Structure 1
Amino acid sequence: MMEKTMENNRVSVIGEVASEFTFSHEVYGEGFYLTTVLVNRLSNQVDEIPLMVSERLMDIHRDYRGGMIEATGQFRSFNRHEGNRNRLVLSVFAREVSFPDGYEDSTKTNQIYLDGYLCKPPVYRKTPLGREIADLLIAVNRPYGKSDYIPCIAWGRNARYASGFEVGSRLRVWGRVQSREYTKKLDEEHVEKRIAYEVSVSKLESL
């Protein structure tokens, strides 16, 4: 059963380590740490991907900044309590890491596959330029009764297709993990720049 639930959420990223490791949390005496990996897009834009690593997987006290890292694992979420609200926090949870000298195929530096269930109605809209977009929230089962809630964004024909899905539909999604900067209004005088993470969908199907 565990093998099956691990297969429904697979991600691999290759990029440049951009920050030192910072402590995230501890589970049964095992510490988990976060760093940021810069992953290039074909458009020459860069996605800032949060990578979570166990202290038992690599030396988290070493400075890896500027070097390349390849990580495979799962895209995971957890709710962080901020005042009276919960904030969905996403990161790539590494199961394996390696340190390549570079990469030959830039189309394979950021890949994700999800098999889960739609847990909110799709939000379909068009941009001012007429581009079709659909926002999806997919729940992906994890061992021991847990689930990860992964925001996904589909474009064009995929967006139109996804707009007809019903809550509870089982979906398979292929794409990449992307970061997006946005502005959060805190009160009348203060705003804060934040980074959102989501899956940009290249292919999807309903089962």
Structure 2
Amino acid sequence: MTKVKVCGIRTLEEAEWALDAGADAIGFVFAESKRKIDVETAARISASLPTHLLKIGVFVNETMDRLEEIFHLVDLDYVQLHGDESVRFCHTINLPFIKAIPVKEKEDIAGMEDFGGEMILLDSGKGPHRGGNGTTFNWDYTDSVITPQHLILAGGLNPDNVREAITKVRPYMVDVSSGVETDGRKDRMKIESFIREAKSV
């Protein structure tokens, strides 16, 4: 069964909605974003949640020292690198990490396994922000993907298309943010609907 991550969590209530609906992971955005959360708030939320729920921090071009500091302060399970981090940077990091790859064309996927790590996240490269744009990429690009890492699919997923996405891509995990929001805030009904759809494939 495909795992589900709800990203862009900003309150304990939102985290509990995701948990109660059956999410496997939540994401805290520490990069500049309308969903950015401060470290202290994220740490308080993290401390209130069970250990089986993965806590993933999203960063863009952050320093190694700051990654390690926030990882320990918030008690994260993974750091998600959503910037221009190089293969060399990823190979020197001493934390469990997920490298995010923005996909516009099929060739963007080439060599993604070189980053290492346990998981690779494919997100749409379309839109003004590094993730959370609500845009998809051509899922057919993943047809020939053979990688030792677990694949996380993100980008424009919502309750209406997640079944199709999982059927086509067969990812280890799907990642949703804007697709479970109403007027820029997490929507409990949409979270429940998304996870129900994802888990029914």
Question: Which has a greater percent of helix?
Answer: 2
Compare the two structures and name the one with the higher strand fraction. Answer: 1
Structure number, greater radius of gyration: 1
- TM-score bin (small chain): under 0.3
TM-score (norm 1): 0.23
TM-score, scaled relative to structure 2: 0.23
